[in-house]
Structure 1
Amino acid sequence: MINTQAILDSARKTILTESESIANLVNYLDEDFAKATGIIHQSKGRLVVTGIGKSAIIASKIVATLNSTGTPSLFLHAAEAIHGDLGMVQPGDVVICISKSGNSPEIKVLAPLLKRDGNILIGMTANKDSFLGKESDYVLHAYVESEACPNNLAPTNSTTAQLVLGDALAVCLMELNNFKSDDFAKYHPGGALGKKLLLRVGDMLDDTHKPAVLPDSSIKQAIFEISAKRLGVTAVLEGEKVVGIITDGDIRRMLNDRDNIAGVVAKDIMTHNPKTIKPTEMAADALNTMENFAITQLVVEENGEYKGILHLHDILKEGIV
């Protein structure tokens, strides 16, 4: 029978052990970290990140983070490097080599080769006195006292420490590069994140469905326009200027409040000064406005000209939320 409590206790212990190891990393940050970050920032070449075993997996993730945040990077598997892939490293590139022990056979062969064209070598290791530590120009000290593994063998705390140091490096480089959300959008054009960062109101607007009536239009005409355009609203226009809107909710309230609607026209029940947005504004900002004012439509205007209606469903259909 499964001992639920024992499983939960073990999971909690692992999480706490790893979190303590990560918290202790701040004590091992030194000038080497700052200097290495500066070297990468000033480099005209790429950043090559290499490792073997579990450290190679961490290296691959660090490369992904760096590439997506504005630091051109390549992943080089240490074992493949000594069988031909070393050609990926070009003069002017900076290299980060990741190894917990810093003494694995592959690292001992590779480390000197990584420097043969004058490349700067940055070691990320738990052991500054290791072969890698001594061979490196700068050391990112990823020290952990032990692994979360009960046998102190499986890389757990150590790989988490490497990952966190990589994230710290990426964030520092983002700040040095003044990397903003607009820059981030360039590297993330796909999926919900890309749409949130790139999609503008005008990109979603269907200008063939622009519900509109005149201020003196009958309520029947307003109802027909709302039904025909299927947006739950119609704008009330004087020329091309929006002077109000009528929603299906306005129609319901009118029918509830009045026994006789003969002679009632659009301007009698319209909402003045509706919330508007420009086609050039971000779709995410439109969503925030809708949420803040508890509404489901926005009038889209540009230079005082009516462009259409943006509905909450248009935003949801794009998968932004």
Structure 2
Amino acid sequence: MNIIKNIKNSAIKVLQTEAEALQNLIPNIDEDFESCVKEILRSEGRVVITGVGKSALVATKIVATLNSTGTPALFMHAADAIHGDLGMIQREDFVICISKSGNTPEIKVLVPMLKRMGSKLVALVSNTESYLAEQADFVLNATIGEEACPLNLAPTTSTTAHMAMGDALAVCLLEARGFSSDDFARYHPGGSLGKQLYLTVDDLMVKDAVPQVNEGADLTEVILEISGKRLGATAVVNGDQHLVGIVTDGDLRRMLEKHQDLSTVTAKDIMTKNPKTIARNEYAVRALNFMREYNITQLVVEEDGGVRGFIHIHDLMKEGIV
């Protein structure tokens, strides 16, 4: 039990240490941070992020976040940069160097080269008195009190702080550019997230063989329409072909419990009036949210009062949206 208790206590201490470090970053969002964001917005080049070791891994994550939120970015390993990869940098590019100490040998070799190329240089560091911070045009201060590692050696709190500062930078740029969910969808077409952002009801709805009966249809016709179209429901329309209700499998079961004489039962007698509907140009994920909110499995797709189709939860499941 003591071993288990120690594991829990160690994990809690790590999270508390890192959470405290992130809170302490808030005062570091200063004029340099604001100027850095404004300079990137004005820049006609890309954001190039570099680092070595764990900082290189943090750099690749920030690059991915920037690219997916509308800011063109690329990663350059600091060690590779001084062996030829500097050729990828153009004069108008904006370079961010990530380093906890700001004094690593690779950074000391790289920085003078970047300065000669004329690129703007940002230091994302945990040591504002370092060589890198002194040489940079802008300093993003990610100073921490201690690493979460009990030896205060393994980069833990520092990498979390650097990554969080990168997220803050990316989100500020996203908001300043007016980046919308439609823009996000263009950059994320794959997976369930992308589908939620670009698939519409019209893309998924059943358009052919739409179950539909007149409000005066008898019980046999209603049952055949529901079973034949295999959606578990049928729309009910009036003489003008306008939607007036819906009959589901559940409505049929409840009807059998209430009616003794089934010969006179019509669709109008058992339908649910004013059914939940959705427009064909709505996002499919909105249809899913509707179904969850009202605990139903299908929606009628309505347009100008008429029935244009059905969208069923199975359609959403097949596309991986659920």
- TM value normalised by structure 1: 0.96
Partner residue of 2:319?
318
Q: 1:287 aligns to what?
A: 288
Q: Percent identity at matched positions? A: 56
Work out the CA distance in 1 between the residues paired with 2:298 and 2:98.
52
Match of 1:227 in 2: 227
Separation in 2 of the partners of 1:314 and 1:45? 43
SS state of the match for residue 306, structure 1? strand
Describe the superposition over 1:270-316 as per-residue Cα deviations: whole angstroms up to 9, x where unpaired: 22221111111111111222222222221112233321111122222
1:35-58 superposed Cα distances (whole Å, 9 cap, x missing partner): 111101111110000000000000
**What corresponds to 1:111 in structure 2?**
111
Report the Cα distance in structure 1 between the residues aligned to 2:273 and 2:122, rounded to whole angstroms.
Answer: 64
Q: Which residue does 1:309 correspond to in 2?
A: 310
Per-residue CA deviation, residues 96-131 of structure 1 (Å, 9 max, x unaligned), is 001111111100000111122211000111112211
CA distance in 1, matches of 2:284, 2:198: 8
Report the counterpart of residue 150 of structure 1 in structure 2.
Answer: 150
Runs of 4 or more, structure 1, over 3 Å off, are none
Whether 1:207 aligns to 2:207 is yes
Counterpart amino acid of residue 28 in structure 1: N
Shift of 1:16: 1.0
Task: Name the SS for the 1:186 alignment partner.
Answer: helix
What are structure 2's unaligned runs of at least 5 residues? none
Deviation at 1:2, TM superposition (A): 7.6
Amino acid at match of 2:58: I
Q: 2:89 maps to what in 1?
A: 89
Displacement after TM superposition at 1:239 (Å): 4.8
Give the structure 2 partner of residue 140 of structure 1.
140
Q: Which amino acid aligns with 2:245?
A: G
TM-score computed with the length of structure 2 as normaliser: 0.96
After alignment, is 73-82 or 115-124 more displaced? 115-124
Contiguous gaps of at least 5 residues in structure 1: none
Aligned residue type for 1:169? L
CA RMSD of aligned residues (A): 1.4
Matched, 1:44 2:38: no
Code of the residue aligned with 1:137 in structure 2: it is D
Q: Does 1:31 align with 2:31?
A: yes
User: Which residue in 2 is equivalent to 1:100?
Assistant: 100
Q: For the residues of structure 2 that align with 1:304 and 1:117, how far apart are their CA atoms?
A: 65
Q: Give the structure 2 partner of residue 278 of structure 1.
A: 279
Match of 1:3, SS state, is helix
* Equivalent residue pairs, number: 321
